[in-house]
Structure 1
């Protein structure tokens, strides 16, 4: 049966595949996320790079600090990635229906990815806030629940959603770049003749998509980290509040390079990480198709 005749897998299969892929990716690349956050929270100019940050954390705080804050994203990763791929599948079908197109196009892939990212952003905000505050070098929190309790006590329940708007833009642009590039790169790669070559194509297209998404969204990630890392003080206006004004503030005070703080560890995680995500998702979906049999194969 050709791919166009094959029946789409149910929502639950896409959800499960995304969840499995997300957990696989974060267990592999998490220390790079800690380094990225530390670099983004540093204001002003800094000469400490990727290797220096690793060495400083290990020397001053121990190896275990590289996994500080792992619990929130690990708990989040399954629903987060599941929502990403399930939403991408959902919006893809909707846009095809609305436009009357029979096959996905580059433009529809970008629109679908942006919509999936916007959907995903609503799920991740509280978990991201907890993770950022635990990863901060100056963090004095006992653990994830301590962050939740103190945030609610000092800032109210809505305090857990600090950075919602910046998180929206971070995921909007990353997913647009990621899924848009995957479509384009797949069309340029030689057609896979074996399962191994198909997995390789998925890894390559996912890695390129991960790089493109990271290049697009890093400035928004810097702003998100600054907003979520700051503790609100009653009567004091936060320095970083809304995304686009914050981008201008950082650009003016610290220069354009500051908008890409943490880019190296971020791209080292999310380029191969994007490849791992797509590879595991497609492999898992293939297992589901075989298990369900015709007409899904």
Structure 2
């Protein structure tokens, strides 16, 4: 799925549309990258997300599970309802954000068409050297918005879809239900959070220069600025490659998580 993420970032970072845009769509972007930069460019910087995925997903589901327990106890309910599912997902997204920010920043900077970094490691060390360690957390506020909104939509939709699907009476039906719920949840999460993702990409790709005011800094003013300069559609730049990745990915994620948890429960409680 990584090439789709590269395409998403390239499209989000370009200012302008129509004749002034370097990339006009997913296929156009993929074709131009391969033609001008070589197929390997589609995977440049992949080490950052590879290192990020395990702690990111573990944090997401572990935090969501703990917040679900906490909110049920706090509000005095036995079963998780949709409002609490949304609240638990949003809370998990906030925790997850602190884990992913440095990895996301490095990934964005390597994926940019004008990137001067040779690899994720090169971007990491040069960012620290020239901007300081705290620069790795540029875009934290935007990342919080992105992950809070996505996880709230994802877990909230999953809860609702599961109540509408037929009861799973076999492992196959359970897998199908999880795949459907996760895919729909991932799609809606992406619809809700794409504007925040666009802002996050632009903030994190901006190098800190002493004495120079950053064009994109805080989320809400940046959203307003992009809307003013480029129109509403600019807030959804990169939506297609993003939803193609996170729609099916959300379904696969839920299926694998559920299957893995069932496996560990079977070991833990086998005696």
- Pair 1:187-2:179 in alignment: no
Q: In structure 1, how many angstroms separate the alpha carbons of the residues matched to 2:265 and 2:133?
A: 42
Per-residue deviation at 1:150? 1.4
Mapping 1:13-28, distance limit 5 Å: none
Report the number of matched residues: 267
CA RMSD of aligned residues (A): 1.0
Q: In structure 2, how many angstroms separate the alpha carbons of the residues matched to 1:290 and 1:97?
A: 26
TM-score by length of 2: 0.96
Runs (4 or more) in structure 1 with deviation over 2 Å come to: none
Worse-matched range after superposition: 283-292 or 70-79: 283-292
Mapping 1:91-106, distance limit 5 Å: 91-106=67-82
Partner secondary structure for residue 154 of structure 2:
helix
- Pair 1:235-2:207 in alignment: no
Q: In structure 2, how many angstroms separate the alpha carbons of the residues matched to 1:181 and 1:31?
A: 27
Q: In structure 1, how many angstroms separate the alpha carbons of the residues matched to 2:125 and 2:219?
A: 26
**CA deviation vs aligned residue, 1:52-99 (integer Å, no higher than 9, x gap):** 111111111111111111101100110000000000001000001100
Q: In structure 2, how many angstroms separate the alpha carbons of the residues matched to 1:214 and 1:40?
A: 14
Q: In structure 1, how many angstroms separate the alpha carbons of the residues matched to 2:128 and 2:260?
A: 39
- Pair 1:226-2:202 in alignment: yes
Per-residue deviation at 1:294? 5.1
Per-residue deviation at 1:31? 1.2
From 150, 160, 171, the equivalent of 2:126 is 150
**CA deviation vs aligned residue, 1:210-250 (integer Å, no higher than 9, x gap):** 00100010000000000011112221100000000000000
Per-residue deviation at 1:293? 2.5
Unaligned runs of 5+ residues in structure 2 are: none
Partner secondary structure for residue 125 of structure 1:
helix
Q: In structure 2, how many angstroms separate the alpha carbons of the residues matched to 1:282 and 1:30?
A: 24
From 243, 247, 253, the equivalent of 2:229 is 253
Q: In structure 2, how many angstroms separate the alpha carbons of the residues matched to 1:77 and 1:65?
A: 20
Unaligned runs of 5+ residues in structure 1 are: 1-28
From 239, 244, 248, the equivalent of 1:268 is 244
Q: In structure 2, how many angstroms separate the alpha carbons of the residues matched to 1:77 and 1:235?
A: 35
Q: In structure 1, how many angstroms separate the alpha carbons of the residues matched to 2:184 and 2:223?
A: 25
TM-score by length of 1: 0.88
Identify which of structures 1 and 2 has the higher relative contact order when contacts are C-alpha pairs closer than 8 Å and 6+ apart: 1
